Structure 1
Amino acid sequence: MARGRAPGFDASREEILAQAARLFANHGFAATSMNQVAEACAVSKPTLYHYVRDKHELLALICQTHLQHLADLVDEVSARQLPPQEHLRALILSFVRAYGESQHQHRVLTEDMKFLDDTHRAPLIDVERRVVARFADAVATLRPELRDVHLHKPLTMLLFGMINWTFTWLRPDGALTYEAMAPMVADLFFGGLGSVKAELPSSAGMAAPAS
């Protein structure tokens, strides 16, 4: 009879994934060793291998967990049964905020998934495509004529192009936060540059200055 997982297994692995994502994001997947991951998690290397088979499985789990979280967000927004424009706006806001809360995981997904073999990468790409398709459907529901001329998907990719690479320039310790950026992204997508309000975010939406 197979031995079950020890209590706390999932929580411990979640912490390992978080620490590994931080290391991969800051130093790159290729330059990070399992020794460094074990040290960051304050566990021995044999203990680390109790939770993951190797570094590639660690990478796959980080990407899989992050993508599943995004897929769950799409379901949560859809369950609210909002009118078309509010639905698409809610999707945009939830994704920008999620990227802000999971900056390391998002950088790893964006930059390091290429290191996975086809067996690990294929199901991840499938989830990505399903998430993008749900966004494209939301765009087409709001503007049905765009589906007729096959523009709903290209416009969706432009939207993801706007938000997917925010981590490359938005400083985590800067005054402008992901929370403050979220409505700006939605306003820009819906109305173009003219719809963006020329005012700084309120203090509630601003991060504390770096010391």
Structure 2
Amino acid sequence: MARTIAKDHGDKRHAILTASSKVFTDVGFDRASMAQVAKACSFSKAALYHYFPSKNALLFAILERHLSQLTEHILKLERLNRSAEEFLAHIVEEILLQYQGNDPVHELQIHALGQLDKNEQHILRSHMRELVSYVSEVISEARPSLTSQGPKNLRMATMSLFGMLNWYYTWNGRRGTEGRREYARFAVQIFLKGV
């Protein structure tokens, strides 16, 4: 007979992912143990293994949840009557708001992604490529001159914008929603119009 899933299974899984991302970031993914994760979650190791069979399975679940939710959220934004520049500004703000509270996940994405097997890396990179491609299309519409010079300049511009957003947490990640909105406006202004 198949085992029934507890009513709080999703809540517990979410709590495990949140706690483990902090443990992996604080201790380092290589040095962290499932025992440390279990302790941070107030679980037994056996209970933790019921949800995730390995440390790598946990890492993949953390990154997959974050990247898939982020990509889905951004791709579902409604453009309404916004110009390409206005829509890009809206996207940038939403990306920074989605990043809020996910500093440990960013650390893991940067430092531990290579620990996963190639198939898992491919899945995660597919999410990233989808998001980057979408933002790149909006940038191309806002600044058509970038594409007239070939794909290289558009790619450099797109990745420069993501660089401004992805590293925000290292120098100002604890700022709240208003700080993120303010920085989003500033980043878009620099990106589109210069300093």
Q: Could you state the TM-score of these two structures normalised by the residue count of structure 2?
A: 0.90
> 1:98: Cα distance to partner?
1.8
Alpha-carbon distance in 2 for matches of 1:11, 1:83: 40
> 1:153: Cα distance to partner?
1.9
Q: How does 1:191-210 map to 2 (within 5 A)?
A: 191-193=193-195
RCO greater where, 1 or 2, for CA within 8 Å and sep 6 or more? 2
Q: 1:79 to 1:191 in 2, by over 3 A?
A: closer
* Counterpart residue number, 1:42: 42
Q: 1:158 to 1:171 in 2, by over 3 A?
A: closer
* Counterpart residue number, 2:6: 6
1:99 is the counterpart of 2:60: no
8 Å contact kept, 1:97–1:178 = yes
Q: How does 1:16-35 map to 2 (within 5 A)?
A: 16-35=16-35
> 1:104: Cα distance to partner?
1.5
The alignment partner of 2:130 has SS state of helix
Count of matched residue positions in the alignment of Structure 1 and Structure 2: 192
Q: 1:144 to 1:40 in 2, by over 3 A?
A: same
What's the CA shift string for 1:81-110, capped at 9, x where partnerless?
632111111111111222223112122112
Q: Could you state the TM-score of these two structures normalised by the residue count of structure 1?
A: 0.83
Alpha-carbon distance in 2 for matches of 1:7, 1:128: 32
Q: 1:48 to 1:81 in 2, by over 3 A?
A: farther
* Counterpart residue number, 2:180: 178
- Give structure 1 stretches of 5+ with no counterpart: 194-211
Alpha-carbon distance in 1 for matches of 2:179, 2:54: 35
Q: 1:2 to 1:82 in 2, by over 3 A?
A: farther
The alignment partner of 1:31 has SS state of coil
Letter aligned with residue 53 of structure 1: P
Letter aligned with residue 22 of structure 2: R
Q: 1:173 to 1:142 in 2, by over 3 A?
A: closer
> 1:79: Cα distance to partner?
5.5
* Counterpart residue number, 2:86: 86
Q: 1:4 to 1:86 in 2, by over 3 A?
A: farther
8 Å contact kept, 1:93–1:186 = no
The alignment partner of 1:30 has SS state of coil
* Counterpart residue number, 1:119: 119
8 Å contact kept, 1:21–1:104 = yes
Q: How many percent identity over aligned positions?
A: 29
